Structure formats: C-alpha cells, structure tokens
C-alpha cells in the first residue's frame, strides 16, 4: 500500500495536480571513511583465508582423502575408523571450498565488468551471498565500486532479506497520525530505487547475453488475430500484463522496418521481447536456441535482440536522468533518484477497486464514452447504489403483483434515458459487490472472533483497502494481538487481513461492528474509509460549497446503501432533501441548526443514559455479547453549511463525547477554525481531498449535482408509489407501463432469423456454432444483449464478461466476432448495430423465447385477446408452453455473474405466474377445473413461491368437488410452509374452503 506524504509536503502550496515523479532528487554519496578501508582489509584477509588458506591447510595437514586406486569388495567390509570419518569430512570441505571459490570468481568478474548483480551459482545461496559481501567490501574503496549494487557495503545484511522488509514496512500502509514513519520511508525508498536501477542494469546485461525470451507474432487463423493481451494471458498467466510487453518493445524497429507505437496495433511477423518469467514452449524462443523456426527467423530474433534499452548499455533509467552514473567527480559525486512515490495509474484507467481488481478497460484510447467518472471510480458506492436499486425494483414488482399499490405496472421497470441511463451504466461498470461482501464478512468475522475471546472491539479510526484486496484497520491505540487470521500491520496500531484469508470467511451472525465506515477517496491504489462515528469530535470539511456538497452527497449515499452496516440514522442538514428516496428508513432531513441541536441534544442524553444503565463504556462494547442487536446503531450527522460562531460552540460541546456514543459529525466550513474539529479536511477544485495534519492527499470520492439528480431519478422511478403506473403517476392496468420494451411479431410472417431459448437450457437456432475457445463468451454476450433490448453500453458489456477488467482491443475484437457470428439480414443490415448513444443493439430479427413470452402475454391480455376469447386462450396456452425451467438453467459455474445485478430473476416468475393465473381464469369461466389445475401446476414449476398461484390452485381444486383432494393439497401446502407457518391470507382462504383443515394438521403432527 502507498505511503503518506509528510505534513510539510501535504501542506505545500505547490499545485497538487503536478506529476508525481517530477524532478530527480540528488542523493549525496558519502565519502569513503576509515571504516570502509578497515572493512576492505578484513574482507581481503577473509577471502585469502577461505580461497587460499583452506586448500593449503587441507593438503598439508590431512592430505589426499580419496584412495589411490580402485577399492575392492573388501573395502565395504572394513571397520569405519576415525580416519575414515575425517576423509569423508575432508571431501565435503573440498566441495564447499570449490563452490565458494566459484562464487568468488563469478562475483569478481561481475564487479569488474560492471554487470552489477551476476547470475546465481546453482545451490549456493548463502555461499554466494557471503562472497558478494566480501567482494563488495574489498572493492568498495576502488573505482569499480560505483557499478556494484548499492547497499552491498552493509556487511552482514542481506539485500533480499533485510532491505525489502524495510521498504514494505515504510510504504505498505498509509496511516493517520503516523508521520514519524515518513523519514524511514524516504531512506528505505531511496535504497529500493537504487537496487531497482541495479536490477534493471543486470536484466539488460542478461538480455545482451541472450537470456531474454522472444515471441513472434503469429499470422491470423480464420477470424482470430493475435493481441498483446492474449499473448500475456498465454505466456505470463495474466492478460493485464500486456503493458509489460508493450513497454519492452515500444518504438523498437521491427523486421519489416515499422515500429510498435500502440498496444492494439501489432502485425504478424513482428518480434516481441518477453518478460523473463514468460512460458509457453516453442512460441517463446531464445535468440540462439530456436530449433523449430527457420534460420531467417532466428536471424530476425538475433537482430532484434541487439535493439532496445539493454543494447544501449544504459538501461531505461538513463534516459530519465535516474541512472547510477556520477554527476561531477571526486567526493562530491551525486546520484539522481526520482521522487519516491508510487506511480499513478494510467490516466485512462481507473484504479482497480478494493479486493476485486474490477478495473475498467485500460487502453489509453478507450475513454469513458460519456459515463460519469465519479461513479466509475467509486466501486463501493456504486455497489451499494446498485444493490439498493435492485431491491427497490423487486419490491415494486411484488407490490404491483399483489395489487397493494396503485394499478398494475407490468413486468418491466421504466427504462432510464439520458443522464439516468448513463448513471445506471456507470453503476454497472464501476460496482464492486465482491469487495463489499469481503469487507462485510471480514469485519463481522473479526467481531465474532473477539466475542469468542471475550475481548472488546478496538476503536477503529479508518480502514485502508489496498489494490490487492488486503484490508488494514487503523486503530486509535494498540489493542494487542489480533485474532487469527488477522495479523499485526506495520506497527501495533494496524491490524491487517490478507484478501486470501478474507475470502475464507463465511457469514457471521453478529452485528456490524463498524457501520460508520465510509469512503473518502483513494491514495494511489488504496482506498480510505473513515469511521465517522469513532472520531473524538467533529470532522470539518472546507472548500467551495459545490465541492463540499459533492463530497457530502457521496458520503450520504454510501452510508445509506452500503452493505457492511445493519441499521443507522443519517441526518442531513442544509442539503440532500432529494436523497431521501435512496433509503427512506435511514435518511432524514432537517431544515436548520436549531432543529438539529434540539434533536441531537435529546439523543445524546438518551445514549449516555442507556450506556450507563447497560454498564458499557462505549457503543463498541454494546455491539458484542448479548446486547449486540439492540440499540447501538450509529447516528451520523452531515451538516453541509457552516454554522455561526455561537452555533459552532454549541455543536462542539455537543460533539465532545460523541465518539463513544456512536454519533459522528461531518460539518462543512469555509475556513479552518471550526471549534471542536478533531480532524480538518479540505476539498480542492481539482478533486483533491487534503488533510495536512493527517498527512493525507486523496483523490476525493464525490457525487456531483448532475449525477446525484440522476441517481435520485432512478430510485424515484422505481418507487411504486411515485413512479409510472403508481398512485402518483399515469398508467394502471391499461397504461403504457404494461407495454414490454420489445414486442415480437408472433404471426407466421414474423418468423425470426435467429431464435435463442433462454427460459430453461440455453439454445440458439439459426446460427452456426462458434469456435469452441470463444463460444462461451459469445453466448454470454448475446444473452446480455437479448435481456436488454434498449441497448448495452460497450463498457457494461466488457465489465460483465470480464469482471476483473480487459483492454479495449480485446473487447473490440470480441464485438467484431459477435457481429460476424450474428451476420446480416437479407437486406444487408447488420444484426448487431450501434445506436446514436454508442450502445449496442440487436436487430428485430434476433429474438428470444422471453421476448415471445412477453409478447404473447401482452397480446392475450391487452391486445387481440381482449376482444376474442378463443384468441386469448390460444395465446396464453402457447405462452405457457414456452416455459421450460428457470432462466439459463445450464449456465456454467463462474459465468453470468452480472445476473446478480438484474431483476429478471423476479420478473420471469411473476410473468409466468400471471400467465398461469390468466389461463386458469380462462378455463374456470367454462368450469374446466382440471385444465385450470394443469395450467397452475405448470406455472408453479417456475414460480413455486407465488402465493397467488396456490390460492388459485386451492379454488380450482375446490371446484372439482373432491374434498379428499382438497385436503391433500392443504396438507401439502402446510408442509411447504415449514416453521414460518401458513401465511395469513392462505390461512383465511383455507378456513373458507376447508374449515376442518386444522384437524388434518393436528393429526399429522
């Protein structure tokens, strides 16, 4: 994880948006001291003893240990004497001396030739390390020492064993109130930079000696063309490492005279230098060892090997002034090092989200296509909003189905347009539900483990989620050793959990321990979540009103919808009245400070009294043990407008004890002198969130006004009381909200060119089977497009197919294959097109059975079937025949994860149930109870939890006049109800149709 800036740098007046590796920083090389000469002399003596003295002593004192001639069989029967044992030991010592001498020769040759870090002598790790240190100490006083790896002069310290942990400890985790680590971090970073430069020179020398591997771009096979992503995926194990290949080969002359300038533009026959860990048989070739290719190709590889940075002798660092060469001369020589700060992500690539690596497509030319960046780079906020929106839409569907609100809205939620559509796509692309799940399970698992050990929850000020998925909790004070699998972090105030350990956590039946955690922004590849309820006082936020409000809106939206809290109250003052639809049970809005003071004064007194009565010192102790699910939900106050001086003093007094009460205050201010402010932050116009006293400079997480309005629009449209078709909007049983977004011509003339069966097992009619290696991706992409006839944004498609991220060229290549696979209509129109907004749409000639099912039900209930009973019965029967099981019943494990963001799992059962109910009603009108029962049973196979179907089945069975059959059905229904018991409506219906049903239940019990 990244390290923090020092307080001085954080409070600097220099522009915060300046490049992070701006100017080489001179690091003085100290003069050679008397101690260096002593070390050199001692190293010479040790080398002389080990290299010369040991063999002389063995030869003069012990002699030749091996027999003079070939031993006979009687040699095996001789008694083992002390001399025999000494001879064996002598042989071992001779071998050890030979190995050490070889190491010394290798190290001396490397030092004199300027290679830096030489190749390893097999099986001689400790011996070669000792030889390296002795040779370095001996040559430290000579002119050739400048070419050795920096840091080797520290005798007794292993560069791999000691230096790297120092860098990790200094840089791994950002911290609040941890500025004392900065000086050590700078020193360790400088050593790491020097070691990295030496390693680069060593790699360059190795490449010059023919140890580098190469790949030759293959010609296309059919529709498949080679790409750097696929090469990296095959030979490096991760397609996202394509950047390494690109950087190694950028602007180098290829055999045809051209150069590689863009990662997506490569040609057959080009040579690619590969990273050293590349694997892949004969496709990864050495310049002098390519037996399976022609002499011409071997010559091309050999010529290509002589190009590049390593062939220039200076390595890549020399071009930037960061090489190890001396500037000046004598004792005042200096070494230029870049500023030690982790490099930022590629500008066109949002940083990977915490724990999930859910990165957007990282091609430089692939911008956001108009999608709001604020949500693309806020994975936890996007996941919370997307989950809450899905729950709201499902709730609206069920309320509509049960007729509890307004009129009948139909199966489809309103299709968003404009900004709302862009925001919905941004939520789909940016959301990281896996990161939310891991965070929630990790925190609850920690609480459960501490409860089992009878330990209280520690006070947590912040959490850092690293780009690799690790979670670091920053404690207010040391709290001992954390329970396994948690570990101590960089010091006693950090508890760390690796992602691999977090993935092993299961759901824990315990209260959410830190529901007040909320994302503020990112530093490099780490995301900061501040625990608002634990702050010992007020958190102030300065900046312009618009910038402050964008931060406040982001905080409020994430707190209202996050997945790592159970219950909370969020009070908004001075802004956010429109945010209430996001979570009406959590968010409340107050008009001014007087209302806030009156409300919070009463709650503060109540919480103090409740804690005292329960014997708890803080809400944290109340969240573990027997009382964990009772009264300890946090209350977070977001005051966007600066209070007056008098109100600020009253607020400071009110917030003085807020930390232990579970009450947090985030207050907006125009200055930096808010009374009672424990932590002070400021948002800049460039989107930087600065906290100089905390040493923080974050890329702020915001929700600007336009995106906030669009998010609220999505939630408002999904509200059954206010959206279309609800009590406050037009629609109803015959309104437009009942019309499916895509109607199919169900006549004989409307036979589709491509027909996909999604309801049940996945089948496609009208297309040839694609290539096996891409069949799964093409089928999944087509399914996503079929479920979204309004169009799919290309980035939504790529994030659905590749949740961990993919490059634009790979995505575009798949789209081209999809277009070629679907083909064109007879008039030449492509069946996969792009609309005016850039979204992908399917032609009307490509349909699914779900489209047909919706169209048949619509025609039967609102179209031609309304005026013709015969047509209605036929259409409903045809619709029910299409139902062969759940959606995509045989989808492979691990794929189609995007379905968790859809509401089709709620839409399809309701549509099938409505179809079954309509067909049952059709048959009961003519007293055909058996036909009605048959239709209802067919619908129950897909919608077994729909209470309406069971009610209608009870009535149809009652209409048969067979009490035993009705009694058996009632017993089956009671058995299915389980421990929850029979629902009240079902119970009332049973009382009406079968008054003695309880007697049967009692007899069975």
Beta bridge partner(s), residue 635? 569, 663
Q: Which of 910, 980, 988 is nearest to 949 (CA)?
A: 910
How far apart are alpha carbons 290 and 300 in whole angstroms? 11
The C-alpha atoms of residue 625 and residue 447 are separated, in whole angstroms, by: 10
Contacts (Cβ under 8 Å, ≥6 apart) of 244: 232, 236, 275
pLDDT for the residue numbered 18: 33
Mean pLDDT of 718-733: 50
What is the rounded distance in angstroms from the CA atom of residue 381 to the CA atom of residue 310? 45
Residue 293: predicted pLDDT: 67
State the pLDDT at residue 517: 94
Do residues 251 and 261 touch, judged by C-beta distance below 8 A?
Answer: yes
Half-sphere exposure of 843 (CA within 13 A, CB side): 19
For the chain, give the number of residues: 1005
- Indicate whether 737 pLDDT > 50: no
Dihedral of CA atoms 689, 691, 696, 698 in degrees, nearest 10, equals: 0
Reply yes or no on whether the pLDDT at 614 is more than 80. Answer: no
C-alpha span between 272 and 255 (Å, rounded): 11
The residue behind tokens 């629609």 is 731
- SS3 string, 763-811, reads EEECCCCCCHHHHHHHHHHHHHHHCCCCCECHHHHHHHHCCCCCCHHHH
What is the C-alpha to C-alpha distance for residues 949 and 940, in angstroms, rounded to an integer?
7
143 has pLDDT over 70: no
Residues 895-910, mean pLDDT to the nearest whole number: 87
Per the model's pLDDT, the better-predicted residue between 385 and 322 turns out to be 385
Instruction: Let me know: does 529 contact 704? Beta carbons within 8 Å.
Output: no
Q: Please say if the pLDDT value at position 223 is more than 60.
A: no
- Cβ atoms within 10 Å, residue 224: 14
**What mean pLDDT do residues 227-235 have?**
82
Tell whether the model's pLDDT for residue 341 goes beyond 90.
Answer: no
Radius of gyration of the chain (CA): 36
With bands split at pLDDT 50, 70 and 90, how would you rate the model's confidence at 742?
A: confident
- The answer for residues whose C-beta is within 8 angstroms of residue 903's C-beta and 6 or more apart is 390, 393, 394, 397, 413
Residues 6+ apart with CB under 8 A from 365: 262, 264, 348, 808
pLDDT value, residue 216: 84
The pLDDT score that the predictor gives to residue 407 is 37
pLDDT above 60: residue 344: no
For residue range 105-119, list pLDDT tens digits in order: 887 776 665 444 456
The DSSP line for 903-960 is SHHHHHHHHHHHHHHHHHHHHHTTT-HHHHHHHHHHHHTT-TT-HHHHHHHHHHHHHT
Q: Please tell me which residue, 33 or 455, carries the higher pLDDT value.
A: 455
CA-closest candidate to residue 668, choices 648, 688, 653: 648
In a 10 Å sphere around its CB, with 0-12 CB exposed, 13-18 middle and 19+ buried, how is residue 950 labelled?
buried
Q: Which residues contact 134 (CB under 8 A, 6 or more apart)?
A: 43, 46, 47, 104
Residue 862 confidence (pLDDT) above 50: yes
Query: How high is the pLDDT of residue 285?
Result: 62
Stronger pLDDT, 320 or 71, i.e. the higher one: 71
Check if the beta carbon of residue 863 is closer than 8 Å to that of residue 855. no
153: nearest Cα among 42, 280, 309: 42
697: part of which helix (H) or strand (E)? strand 696-700
Q: Please, what's the largest Cα pairwise distance for the chain?
A: 118
Q: In the chain, what percentage of residues exceed pLDDT 90?
A: 28
Report the Cα 836 to chain-centroid distance in Å.
Answer: 31
Q: What is the pLDDT of residue 709?
A: 93
Which of 92-96, 676-680, 955-959 has maximum average pLDDT?
955-959
Pick the more confident residue, 17 or 453. 453
Which has more confidence, 945 or 224? 945
Mean pLDDT, residues 935-956 taken together: 90
Check pLDDT > 50 for residue 160. Answer: no
Residue bearing the bigger pLDDT, 723 or 861 = 861
Is pLDDT larger for residue 810 or for residue 221?
810
**Residue 570 above 70 pLDDT?**
yes
User: The whole model's pTM is what?
Assistant: 0.65
Res. 732: pLDDT tops 50: no
Which range of 220-229, 430-439, 731-740 scores highest in mean pLDDT? It is 430-439
The label of the residue with tokens 């190009």 reads: 307
pLDDT at 800 over 60: yes
User: Taking 80 as the threshold, does the pLDDT of residue 103 lie above it?
Assistant: yes
User: Nearest-CA neighbor of 448 among 357, 401, 513, 385?
Assistant: 513
Task: Give the single-character DSSP code of 300.
Answer: H
Sequence-distant contacts of 497-504: CB under 8 A, at least 24 apart: 497/442, 497/446, 497/470, 497/471, 497/472, 498/469, 498/470, 499/355, 499/438, 499/468, 499/469, 499/470, 499/471, 502/355, 502/438, 502/441, 502/442, 502/469, 502/471, 503/438
Closest CA to 15 of 668, 685, 669: 685
Question: Do the beta carbons of residue 215 and residue 283 sit within 8 Å?
Answer: yes
What is the reported pLDDT for 769?
86
149 vs 218, more confident: 218
Range with lowest mean pLDDT among 42-51, 512-521, 759-768: 42-51
* DSSP collapsed to 3 states, 701-748: CCCCHHHHHHHHHHHHHHCCCCCCCCCCCCCCCCCHHHCCCCCCCCCH
Residue 411: pLDDT band by 50, 70, 90 thresholds?
Answer: low
Q: What is the model's pLDDT at position 154?
A: 31
Residue scoring higher pLDDT (771 or 605): 605
- Percent residues over pLDDT 70 in the chain: 73
**What pLDDT shows up at residue 592?**
86
Residue 361 banded pLDDT, cuts 50, 70, 90: very low
- Helix (H), strand (E) at residue 384: helix 379-402
- Over residues 684-696, the mean pLDDT reads 86
Per-residue pLDDT at 624: 64
Question: How many Å apart are CA 939 and CA 959, to the nearest integer?
Answer: 19
Is it the case that residue 437 has pLDDT exceeding 50?
yes
Check whether 333 has a pLDDT greater than 80.
Answer: no
Instruction: Over range 249-258, report the average pLDDT.
Output: 84
pLDDT score for 259: 82
Whether 23 shows a pLDDT value over 60: the answer reads: no
Instruction: Quote the pLDDT of residue 73.
Output: 60
pLDDT at 201 over 70: no
Mean pLDDT of the chain: 76
Average pLDDT over residues 940-959: 90
Instruction: Select the more confidently predicted residue: 77 or 103.
Output: 103
Q: What are phi and psi of 702, to 5 degrees?
A: -130, 165
In this prediction, residue 55 carries a pLDDT of: 82
DSSP character string of 66-100: S-SS---GGGGGS---HHHHHHHHHHHHHHHHHHH
Average pLDDT over residues 168-177: 50
> Cβ(610)–Cβ(627) under 8 Å?
no
Task: Say how many C-beta atoms besides its own lie within 10 A of residue 478's C-beta.
Answer: 12
Q: Is the pLDDT of residue 32 over 50?
A: yes
| pLDDT for residue 438 | 93
Burial of 208 (C-beta count, 10 Å sphere; 0-12/13-18/19+): middle
The whole-number pLDDT of residue 787 equals 92
């Amino acid at each position: 994880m990244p390290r923090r800036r020092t307080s001085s740098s954080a409070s600097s007046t220099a522009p915060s948006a300046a490049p992070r590796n701006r100017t080489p920083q001179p690091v003085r090389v100290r003069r050679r001291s008397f101690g260096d000469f002593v070390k050199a002399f001692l190293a010479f003596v040790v080398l002389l003893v080990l290299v010369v003295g040991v063999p002389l002593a063995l030869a003069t004192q012990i002699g030749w240990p091996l027999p003079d001639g070939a031993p006979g069989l009687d040699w095996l029967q001789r008694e083992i004497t002390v001399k025999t044992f000494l001879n064996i030991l002598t042989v071992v010592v001779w071998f050890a001396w030979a190995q050490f001498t070889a190491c010394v020769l290798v190290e001396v040759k490397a030092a004199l030739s300027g290679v830096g870090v030489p190749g390893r002598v097999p099986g001689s790790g400790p011996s070669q390390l000792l030889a390296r240190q002795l040779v370095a100490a001996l040559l430290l006083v000579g002119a050739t020492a400048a070419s050795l790896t920096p840091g080797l002069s520290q005798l007794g310290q292993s560069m791999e064993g000691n230096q790297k942990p120092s860098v990790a400890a200094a840089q791994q985790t950002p911290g609040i109130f941890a500025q004392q680590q900065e000086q050590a971090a700078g020193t360790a970073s400088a050593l790491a930079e020097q070691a990295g430069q030496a390693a680069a020179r060593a790699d360059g020398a190795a490449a010059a000696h023919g140890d580098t591997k190469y790949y030759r771009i293959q010609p296309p096979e059919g529709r498949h063309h080679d790409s750097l992503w696929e090469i990296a995926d095959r030979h490096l194990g991760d397609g996202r490492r394509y950047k390494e290949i690109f950087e190694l080969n950028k602007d180098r002359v290829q055999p045809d005279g051209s150069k590689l300038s863009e990662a997506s533009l490569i040609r057959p026959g080009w040579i690619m230098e590969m990273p050293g860990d590349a694997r892949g048989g004969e496709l990864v070739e050495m310049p002098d060892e390519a037996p399976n290719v022609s002499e011409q190709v071997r010559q091309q590889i050999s010529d290509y090997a002589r190009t590049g940075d390593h062939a220039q002798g200076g390595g890549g660092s020399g071009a930037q002034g960061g090489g190890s060469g001396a500037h000046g001369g004598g004792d005042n020589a200096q070494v230029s090092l870049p500023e030690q700060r982790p490099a930022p992500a590629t500008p066109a690539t949002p940083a990977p989200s915490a724990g999930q690596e859910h990165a957007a497509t990282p091609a430089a030319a692939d911008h956001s296509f108009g999608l709001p960046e604020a949500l693309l780079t806020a994975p936890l906020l996007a996941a919370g909003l997307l989950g809450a929106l899905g729950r709201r839409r499902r709730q609206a569907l069920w309320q509509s189905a049960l007729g509890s609100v307004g009129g009948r809205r139909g199966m489809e939620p309103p299709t968003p347009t404009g900004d709302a559509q862009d925001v919905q796509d941004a939520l789909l692309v940016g959301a990281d539900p896996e990161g939310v799940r891991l965070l929630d399970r990790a925190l609850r698992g920690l609480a459960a483990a501490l409860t089992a050990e009878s330990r209280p929850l520690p006070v947590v000020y912040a959490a850092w989620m690293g780009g690799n998925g690790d979670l670091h909790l920053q404690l207010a004070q040391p709290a001992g050793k954390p329970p396994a699998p948690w570990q101590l972090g960089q010091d006693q105030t950090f508890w760390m959990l690796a992602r691999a350990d977090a993935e092993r956590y299961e759901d824990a039946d315990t209260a959410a321990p830190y529901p007040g955690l909320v994302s503020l922004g990112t530093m490099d590849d780490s995301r900061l979540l501040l625990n608002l309820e634990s702050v010992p006082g007020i958190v102030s936020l300065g900046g312009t009103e618009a910038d402050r409000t964008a931060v406040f809106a982001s905080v409020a939206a994430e707190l209202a919808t996050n997945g790592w809290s159970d219950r909370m109250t969020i009070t908004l003052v001075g802004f956010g009245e429109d945010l209430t639809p996001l979570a009406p049970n959590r968010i409340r809005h107050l008009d001014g400070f007087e209302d806030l003071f009156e409300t919070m004064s009463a709650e503060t007194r109540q919480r103090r009294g409740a804690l005292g009565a329960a014997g708890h010192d803080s809400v944290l102790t109340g969240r573990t043990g027997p009382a964990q699910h009772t009264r300890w939900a946090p209350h977070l106050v977001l005051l966007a407008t600066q209070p007056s001086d008098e109100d600020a003093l009253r607020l400071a007094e009110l917030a003085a004890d807020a930390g232990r009460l579970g009450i947090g205050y985030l207050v907006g201010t125009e200055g930096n002198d808010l009374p009672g402010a424990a932590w002070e932050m400021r948002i800049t116009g460039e989107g930087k969130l600065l906290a100089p006293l905390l040493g923080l400079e974050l890329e702020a997480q915001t929700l600007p006004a336009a995106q906030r309005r669009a998010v609220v629009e999505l939630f408002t449209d999904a509200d059954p009381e206010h959206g279309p078709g609800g009590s406050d909007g037009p629609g109803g049983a015959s309104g437009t909200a009942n019309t499916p977004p895509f109607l199919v011509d169900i006549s004989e003339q409307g036979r589709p060119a491509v027909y996909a069966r999604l309801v049940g097992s996945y089948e496609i009619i009208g297309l040839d089977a694609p290539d096996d290696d891409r069949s799964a991706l093409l089928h999944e992409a087509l399914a996503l497009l079929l479920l979204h006839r309004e169009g799919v944004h290309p980035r939504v498609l790529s994030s659905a197919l590749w949740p961990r991220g993919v490059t634009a060229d790979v995505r575009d290549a798949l789209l081209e294959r999809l277009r070629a696979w679907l083909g064109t209509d007879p008039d030449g129109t492509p069946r996969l097109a792009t609309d005016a907004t850039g979204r992908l749409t399917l032609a009307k000639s490509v349909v699914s059975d779900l489209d047909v099912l919706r169209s048949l039900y619509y025609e039967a209930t609102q179209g031609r079937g309304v005026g013709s009973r015969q047509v209605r019965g036929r259409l409903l029967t045809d619709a029910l025949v299409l139902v062969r099981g759940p959606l995509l019943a045989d989808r492979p494990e691990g794929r189609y994860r995007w379905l968790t963001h859809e509401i089709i799992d709620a839409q399809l059962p309701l549509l099938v149930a409505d179809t079954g109910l309509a067909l049952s009603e059709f048959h009961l009108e003519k007293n055909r109870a058996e036909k009605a029962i048959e239709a209802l049973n067919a619908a129950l196979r897909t919608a077994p939890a729909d209470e309406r179907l069971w009610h209608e089945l009870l009535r149809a069975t009652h209409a048969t006049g067979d009490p035993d059959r009705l009694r058996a059905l009632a017993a089956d229904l009671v058995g299915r109800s389980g421990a929850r018991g029979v629902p009240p409506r079902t119970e009332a219906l049973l009382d009406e149709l079968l008054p003695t049903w309880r007697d049967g239940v009692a007899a069975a019990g």
